[in-house]
Amino acid sequence: MSVTTSVMQPEVDWSASDLEAAFAAPSFDPTVLSPDSDAIVEADWAVAGAVAAILGLALGVVLYICSVCGARSFSACYSAVISYWGRGC
C-alpha cells in the first residue's frame, strides 16, 4: 500500500473517535478551560488587570477634564465632565 492510498482510504476498523484524535489540534485548546488551577488564576488576574486599566483610563480622563475646567468640588467636576463633551467648560 502506498502512502497516498493509506491516507486517502483509511482502514475499515478505524472509528470516528480515532479520526477525531488524529486530526485534533491540541495547541488550540483554551487555557481557561484547562484543569490546571494556575491557568484559571492567571486568567482571573488578566481580567482584573484589564478592568483596572479601563477604570484607570476613565479616572485619568475625568481628572484631566476637571483640572482643565478648574473644577474644585465634586459637583463642579461632575458638571464639567458632562458639559465638556457638548459645549465645553
Residues 22-73: pLDDT tens digits?
666 555 555 555 566 566 667 778 888 999 999 999 999 999 999 999 989 9
Pick the most confident of 6-10, 14-18, 57-61.
57-61
Query: 38 with 49: CB under 8 angstroms?
Result: no
Position of cell 473644577? 71
Residue type, 65: I
Is the confidence at residue 1, as pLDDT, over 90? no
Give the Cα separation of 67 and 56 in Å (integer). 16
- Give the pLDDT confidence score for residue 4 in this predicted structure: 55
Q: Which domain holds residue 71?
A: 35-87
Instruction: Check: pTM over 0.95? Answer yes or no.
Output: no
Name residues whose C-beta falls within 8 Å of residue 68's C-beta, 6 or more positions apart in sequence. 89
| Domain assignment present for 48 | yes
Q: How many domains does the chain have?
A: 1
- Give the pLDDT confidence score for residue 86 in this predicted structure: 82
Query: 14 with 6: CB under 8 angstroms?
Result: no
